[in-house]
Structure 1
Amino acid sequence: MNSRNWVRLFLSTLLVGGIVTGIVGFLLRWDEYKILFMNFDISEILAVLFWLIGVGFIFSIISQMGFFAYLTVHRFGLGVFRTASLWNAVQLVLIAFVLFDLVYFRYQIFAEEGETIIPYFMVALGIFLFGLVIAFLKKKQTNKEAFIPALFFMVVVSVVEWMPAIQVNEKDWLYLMIIPILVCNAYQLLILPKLTSNTNKKS
């Protein structure tokens, strides 16, 4: 892929992150922000929107760093384990390990007295199900060998990128960060073949 397409990928992912974070941010605190719309306080609305978009740009950059790191790790894994089937097995183990940690250790560290494990489980389940959908789309877009690597990226890499919010464990920040990261990761994963195919056609 040429430099022009890399720039296109960077800018478009940046835009996706900003837009999604802006929408999610208003929805998460709608009870607080709706008065701004009721009063037509345009200056305050724009101030909040620009702040959310700026935060979204940061999330997008984190997502892109994770994506390029994943591409390197994937190639490294294929080289170390020699066969794709063995590397896929390792990735499945890592997916299961990360999901378990996301539920069990978050519950052990952050759960308040009397709180059940169900909310922690539902968050992990949501990430896993979203990852399955994107991995299935990636499989249809390319080939069946892409399914497990795509699922690994959507689950493991997304959770790693989400670590700053996990450590804070503030509900709004958790959702404000993970949703844009998942969307940005899905966007990069699905748009990359189109960019590379365009490059191949031109060359």
Structure 2
Amino acid sequence: MSLRKWARLFWKTMLVGAVAAVVAGLALQLATGNIAFKGAVDMLIYPLILLGYGALVSVYSQLGFFAYLTLNYIGIGVFRRKTWGYIQIVLTVLALMELMFLRTFVGNEQNLVWDLTIAISIFVVAAFVSYFKVKMTNINALIPTMFFMLAVTILEIIGVLKIGENNATVFLIIPLLACNAYQILMLHKVTQEEKKS
């Protein structure tokens, strides 16, 4: 991947994160009304703050994406492809179990329903993204896409889950999932273009 193509992916991912954060922030404000605006200026500045927040989340997402690419490269180099696939499946299941059950039963968190809702939502999004990735490429993309969309996303949201604020969790997850989905869906196009040139 050339620097120019990486920069294009970077800016497009940042745009995806910004738009997703604006949509999530405005939807949460309409649903909960947690923020009391003092005037018209506050109402105009709020979407700009959301844009900036979404851009920051996209950078966080891209850090996770490149960490995943590095891990995948090392995993393929150390293990046979089939073995690395099994390792990714096990790690994905462990990440889901951590989110759904271990936080409640081992970590003494008291929000099992909320954790299950988040885990199921992330799983559904991961399944959709994996389906489209397989349609765009081949069946070999299924396990890596599911691993990235589930295990890496869950790893990225663990910090916000410790806060225990549901709105903050939703506010992070929506742009993060959008950025992660965009990056994994665009990866093969960027690398194919690189091979063609």
The answer as to whether partners of 2:95 and 2:155 remain within 8 angstroms in 1 is: no
Distance of 1:97 and 1:61 partners within structure 2: 26
CA distance in 2, matches of 1:66, 1:120: 21
Equivalent AA in structure 2 for residue 169 of structure 1: G
Contact kept in structure 2, 1:20 and 1:180, CA below 8 Å: yes
Residue number in structure 2 paired with 1:75? 73
Residue number in structure 2 paired with 1:196? 191
Bigger CA drift: 26-35 or 12-21? 26-35
User: 1:162: Cα distance to partner?
Assistant: 1.1
How far the C-alpha of 1:34 sits from its partner, in A, is: 9.6
Shift of 1:80: 1.5
Question: Counterpart of 1:64?
Answer: 62
* Other structure's SS at 2:33 match: helix
CA deviations 1:47-84 (Å, max 9, x no partner) are 11111111111110010000011011001111121x21
Is the Cα–Cα contact under 8 Å of residues 26 and 33 in structure 1 kept in the other structure?
no
Residue of structure 1 in register with 2:89 after alignment: 92
Corresponding residue for residue 136 of structure 1 = 131
TM-score by length of 1: 0.88
Q: Percent identity?
A: 35
Distance in 1 separating the partners of 2:68 and 2:82: 18
The residue correspondences of 1:145-156 to structure 2 (distance < 5 A) are 145-156=140-151
Write the letter of the residue equivalent to 1:4: R
TM-score (norm 2): 0.91
Unaligned runs of 5+ in 2: none
1:32 aligns with 33
Q: Is the 8 A contact 1:59 1:181 kept in 2?
A: yes
Match of 2:51 among 50, 53, 61: 53
Report the alpha carbon displacement of residue 46 of structure 1 after superposing the two structures with TM: 2.1
Count how many residue pairs are aligned between Structure 1 and Structure 2: 194
Supply the distance in 1 between the matched residues of 2:74 and 2:36 (Cα, whole angstroms).
52
SS at match of 1:168: coil
CA RMSD of aligned residues (A): 2.0
1:33, 1:120 → 2: CA distance? 22
1:7 is the counterpart of 2:13: no
Partner of 1:186: 181
Secondary structure of residue in 1 paired with 2:162: helix
2: distance between equivalents of 1:104 and 1:34? 32
Deviation at 1:33, TM superposition (A): 7.4
Give 1:42 shift: 4.3
Distance 2:168 2:126 in 1: 21
Give the residue type in structure 2 aligned to 1:101: E
3-state SS of 1:110 partner: coil
